[in-house]
Amino acid sequence: MYGAILGDIIGSPFEFDRGDKTKNFDLFSEGCCFTDDSVMTIAVGEALLAVEPEAAVKEIEDAVASNMQDWGKRYPHAGYGGSFRHWLRENNPKPYGSYGNGSAMRVSAAGWLYDSIERTREVARATANVTHNHPEGIKGAEATASAIYMARNGSSKEEIKIKNELFFCHEKCIIIVTNLRSVLLWQVEFMQKSKREY
């Protein structure tokens, strides 16, 4: 979690900068501060430590949602997005279908706390589901937690990249191949029909 929080603080002056990708900058400058990502990383980590390692998904979701609301109310000006600010004030908060990166930004504890990649992904899904229940929001949390899990278990950067691409891009690849197959079949059918007509 130190890495996630330090990265958040160091990167905070550049959060909305989509330009220069230089690595030549002061680590800590006047504009550095923690953001909503650090607050929610701590909230999720604390919630996961409070439940049993084998807790049911619903118990994890309830603990995460409650803790996120508590921490969000303690730090109301940390830079939350509009939908999330509304979610923080709800008495009975419901997920709002976000596919943004918030679920990935807060999930690091899930990558550290569990003994299997399957449990890591299950818990990552649970932490995402409380707000970011869109498939892409969930996938972002799972991919991030998986990368942390694999790194702490000795996988190289290249292995992590390949495994995450294979696991999380698999769905898209199936869709692409299915669509490509349909297009090719249509082309073959069209060509055969054209030959018969001439």
Determine if residue 62 is labeled as part of a ligand binding site.
no
CA distance 96 to 87: 8
Determine if residue 37 is labeled as part of a ligand binding site.
yes
CA distance 128 to 78: 19
Q: What share of the chain is helix, strand, coil (3-state, %, to 5)?
A: 70, 0, 30
Determine if residue 36 is labeled as part of a ligand binding site.
yes
Cβ partners under 8 Å of residue 179, min gap 6: none
The tokens describing 168, both together, are: 């999380």
Number of Cβ within 10 Å of residue 155's Cβ equals 17
Number of Cβ within 10 Å of residue 110's Cβ equals 30
CA distances from 34 to 58, 83, 155, 194 (A): 29, 20, 29, 65
DSSP letters spanning 56-69: -HHHHHHHHHHHHH
State the binding site for Mg(2+): 35-37
Binding residues: 35-37
